[in-house]
Amino acid sequence: MSRARATLLVLLALGGSVAWSETPAPTVVVRAFSSLGTEDLGTLPQSLGDSMNNQLRQAGFVIVDGSSAHPARFESRGLLVREKGNLFLQVEFLDAALQSIVASEVISVHEGLTALNPIYNAMAAVIQRVKGYWGQVSLVPPPVTPLQDPVVFSSPDEGAQVFWQNHQLVGRILKGKLTAPYYPFPSNQRLTVSVEKEGYRVQVVEVPLSPGQSEYLLPKLVKLRVDELFPFVSTGKLLGLGVEYRRYVLPDWSFVGAEAYPFVQWHPGASGAQPVFHLDLAGSVGTWIYFPADSLFRLGVEASLGLSQTMTQASAYAPSQWFLDATVSPFGVLMEWNLWGVTLESRVQVPYSLGLPSGLLGQRWLLVDGTFPLLALGTVLRW
């Protein structure tokens, strides 16, 4: 063998060794997008499949047919549904060596030209996650041990949506559980999860992943304050009971209300005394100004307009009579305590009587014994 030929063989061998040491590009087979429902999707599935192929090639993947001659490390699957003007797309990637889902993306958009950009962005995002996964496992020959078993969330809030990874939708709680798409989380990671449901407060929790645990219980959601009753007693009106209904126009914070307070004045020890009946009606607006709805203590304000009716019974000295007064409470202070599962509330008001000709009170501020503001104490009932 000549020296030149031997040198060439050595160079080829060295070059081959370098080439063989490089990490091969990941291979992927793209399955046709499947569809559900009866509505015709036209050429959209084919267009999305073509876009998937182009994005995979740009990301450094090699497209193969998945046959024994051209096996694929990854398999792409897509599901497309059209329903009532909306498009629902789910894309997932399977690691063929492990037979496990390594990345998944779900998106729902209104149909139209503006739907294409978020769909393409969702496809690009899931491709990048597969590429990141490949960077972790490419140097390890299959089978590769998953870093974390599939995560199952259990929750008493049926239909609640679960989000992770920068508010990425994982899915909905159905029959009390949600199995999340496989993602190679480190087993010692703390996973931030957001649980959301219409009419309930958003709950954000930290889930500490454990190698020997696959199912994690999510906390029960708390309803937003929308409808509530405030039954109460008030100084100056003790022989009676009031109740205020509140409807929150801004859940948990601002409300409009209507209240009624029937009570009786009676001094049975006085000779010839007759009971005097009262009915106070009022409409109000209010808002909580400090601290969230689940705080131990909250502070708010309330203003109201009221009508006060007074009815006396006939006696030997006078016939029965009826009086009507109007009041305004421009400023009231609300205080609330949430203790041991019970909500206690107090309200301080100083109503001002407008002095109607049909009334008894005259034009003045209404104070208990001429000194103290009206103090209401009660609890809060919600549904």
Average pLDDT of the chain?
A: 83
pLDDT, residue 281, reads: 97
What is the average pLDDT across 148-153? 76
Supply the pLDDT for residue 8. 39
Neighbouring CB atoms inside 10 A of 41's CB total 17
E strands, 67-147, in order: 74-83, 86-95, 100-110
Average pLDDT of the segment spanning 5-22: 39
Domain boundaries, the chain: 19-137, 152-217, 227-382
147: pLDDT strictly greater than 60: no
The CATH number corresponding to 227-382 among 1.10.10.10, 3.40.50.300, 2.60.120.10, 2.40.160.20 equals 2.40.160.20
pTM over 0.85: no
What is the predicted pLDDT for the residue at 157? 93
Residue 1 has pLDDT above 90, yes or no: no
| Statement: residue 12 has pLDDT above 60 | no
CATH number for 19-137 (one of 3.30.420.40, 3.40.50.2300, 3.40.50.10070, 3.90.550.10): it is: 3.40.50.10070
Encode pLDDT of 293-333 as tens digits: 889 999 999 999 999 999 988 766 678 899 999 999 999 99
Average pLDDT over residues 209-230: 88
Q: Give the pair of three-digit tokens for residue 21.
A: 């040491």
Of residues 100 and 359, more confidence is placed in 359
Question: How much is the pLDDT for 13?
Answer: 41
Query: pLDDT per residue over 68-106, tens digit each?
Result: 767 788 888 888 887 777 788 888 898 887 777 888 888
Paired tokens of 259: 């209240």
pLDDT (average), residues 120-125: 88
- Cβ 259 vs Cβ 242: under 8 Å: yes
Dump pLDDT digits (tens) for 151-204: 899 999 999 999 987 788 888 899 899 988 766 666 677 888 999 999 999 999
Same fold across 19-137 and 227-382: no
User: What residues are paired with 90 via a beta bridge?
Assistant: 79, 106
Phi-psi label, residue 370: left if phi above 0, alpha if psi -120 to 50, beta otherwise: left
Distance, in Å, from the CA atom of 127 to the CA atom of 78, rounded to the nearest integer, reads 13
Q: By CB neighbour count within 10 A (0-12 exposed, 13-18 middle, 19+ buried), where does 101 fall?
A: middle
More confident residue, 380 or 97: 380
**pLDDT over threshold 80, residue 10:** no
Q: Identify the pLDDT of residue 21.
A: 35
